[in-house]
Structure 1
């Protein structure tokens, strides 16, 4: 039979564990964001194309062209928060509302670009390709960056490192679809990708 003191200690430890779990759950619920990548596995994602994806240490890295990670789920209205690292010549992007999860392009999704050296700089890093030009132009290469993407009905907004690069684009071609992460050249690393429905 277990001594009373040990029972009390175990009961207190159990209560503290439950309390901490409740606090964490409450904080996540208040924040409203859900993690889309965990840096451990590719659960919830499909690999399209021949890109090489490496997972570990909390990071998802694409280091070979050319392909995508495409979410299993479809999303309509949301805010995405991302943290990414890119080389100066990396060609990547976050595609939203993809219409064909097996063939992702800037023509059948909204591509929020990550490509500092794009020939047409107006659609370089922080722009929505062929929809909204970047202003001001941002360079992401060689450091960690934050990106926030808002898609609410036809209204699209992008923020890079706390600065609006696309303030109020409007386009109604695509209303819902999966999210895709692109690896099209150079190294791209994502250590955070979170979504909150609107």
Structure 2
């Protein structure tokens, strides 16, 4: 009987995991930039099924729709010392790369910054709870947009848990984002930071947010 119960539980867990995987919708098709648009300097190219940054500073944003109450999964590889970011809660279609900095949030990709400027934080706004990113390897970032709450896991480890209105440090330098509230839903994008910052993306997918 115990073996039967354990087998049944294993089947249920496996089935639930498989069902959850089917809920992911890929936003990058691995072939071209269909559904995406670039603003600013530089560009993104598709190389061997991967998105690769070139030059910058610019932003590749998804034109299909705004996102809120979803989980965004980004699989990326940043060689040692390279810089990029995932932008969320962008309020309107961007025409240049600085509006998303100041009116959305950048989830940072950079393993050399301090705890307010490293992978998985809302750039310069939140302090990292952990630093699990692995330079030069494929990493999985999951960004949960839950109403006014933003939660970021990197490789399954919690890095950020921020709710609108939580205290943040003051802006210290011009290129840090303006402080203030962001919308509950918005466009998303990927940053090409500069000519020396070559970063690769293998997957950008979303799924609906499910509460227990």
TM-score by length of 1: 0.78
Deviations 1:122-164 (A, max 9, x none): 2211111233211113443211111010011011110111111
SS class of match (2:103): coil
1:107 to 102, 106, 126: 102
2:81 to 86, 89, 92: 89
SS class of match (2:121): coil
Q: Distance in 2 between matches of 1:132 and 1:95?
A: 15
Q: CA RMSD in A?
A: 1.9
> Are 1:137 and 2:146 counterparts?
no
> Is there any run of 5+ residues in structure 1 with no aligned partner, and where?
1-26
Check whether the contact 1:96–1:179 (CA below 8 A) recurs between aligned residues: yes
Check whether the contact 2:132–2:157 (CA below 8 A) recurs between aligned residues: no
Q: Distance in 2 between matches of 1:123 and 1:41?
A: 31
Residue 126 (structure 1) aligns with? 120
Residue 23 (structure 2) aligns with? 32
Q: Distance in 1 between matches of 2:20 and 2:118?
A: 35
User: Does the C-alpha gap of structure 1 residues 29 and 142 become closer, same or farther in structure 2, counting only changes over 3 Å?
Assistant: closer
The farther-off stretch of 148-157 and 48-57 is 48-57
Check whether the contact 1:122–1:137 (CA below 8 A) recurs between aligned residues: no
1:70 to 57, 61, 85: 61
TM-score by length of 2: 0.74
Rg larger for: 1
Check whether the contact 2:75–2:138 (CA below 8 A) recurs between aligned residues: yes
* Pairwise CA distance, 1:30: 6.5
Q: Distance in 2 between matches of 1:55 and 1:169?
A: 33
Give runs of ≥4 in structure 1 deviating > 3 Å.
27-30
User: Does the C-alpha gap of structure 1 residues 138 and 63 become closer, same or farther in structure 2, counting only changes over 3 Å?
Assistant: farther
Residue 190 (structure 1) aligns with? 201
* Pairwise CA distance, 1:88: 1.6
Check whether the contact 1:92–1:114 (CA below 8 A) recurs between aligned residues: yes
Q: Distance in 1 between matches of 2:20 and 2:156?
A: 24
Residue 49 (structure 1) aligns with? 40
The farther-off stretch of 132-141 and 66-75 is 132-141
Check whether the contact 2:50–2:201 (CA below 8 A) recurs between aligned residues: yes
* Pairwise CA distance, 1:28: 7.4
